[in-house]
Amino acid sequence: MAVRSERRASAAGLRGAEQDKDKASADRTPFLDGETDMPEVLGIGLDLVEVVRIERAVARWGDCFLSRVFTPREIADCSVGRDGFRSEALAARFAAKEAVFKALGRGRPDLGWLDVEVLKDAAGKPGVVLSGRALVLAGELGVARVLVSLSHLPGLAAAQAVCLGALPSGQG
């Protein structure tokens, strides 16, 4: 008898869980069904960079490397003291530039390093400013916004970029 009542209770519990699941599904935005006001993802890019590569480039080529790859604002964001740089921060920005190139479906030499600027806002959130050929290409592809995420550990930096289209017409 005890087994039967446990089975009944278990079956009733499953039915209750299925009903809760159905209710939760009905409450959610059906964004996988194509009925959404979300912008379309037009491209995704991911890149990893060994921090030592950036350290070696700075040590070997110094300001020539820095000014060829990073904008003055990016260099200022990554500066420590008078002549020091946070290598992990430079590597993360380098990875972000590569990730943006991939998200746009292009790579070097189609786009210039300075065409993608990775900055942080007052809260420290990274953002991307496109210019030159990257801005022209983004316009041709219908990219309205580029999101970027940066991460680093000692020795390794990573970045992901997502190119978003405009909201569907009439959606703000």
Helices 87-103, 51-61: axis angle to 10 degrees equals 110
| Residue 82 to residue 116: CA distance in whole angstroms | 25
C-beta pairs of 51-59 under 8 Å, 24+ apart in sequence: 51/87, 51/88, 51/91, 51/152, 51/154, 51/155, 51/156, 51/157, 52/155, 53/91, 54/87, 54/90, 54/91, 54/94, 54/157, 55/87, 58/85, 58/87, 58/90
- Residue 11, both tokens: 């079956």
* Tens digits of pLDDT across the chain (172 residues): 454 544 454 455 545 555 555 555 555 555 555 556 788 999 999 999 999 999 999 999 999 999 999 999 999 999 876 667 789 999 999 999 999 999 999 866 689 999 999 999 999 999 999 999 999 999 999 999 999 999 999 899 999 999 999 887 655 5
Does domain 41-165 fall under CATH 3.90.1150.10? My reply is no
Write down the domain spans for the chain.
41-165
- For the chain, what is the radius of gyration of the CA atoms? 23
Residues whose CB is less than 8 angstroms from the CB of residue 47 and which lie 6 or more positions away in sequence, other chains included:
95, 96, 98, 99, 102, 158, 159
Q: What are phi and psi of 94, to 5 degrees?
A: -60, -45
Residue 1 is predicted with a pLDDT of: 47
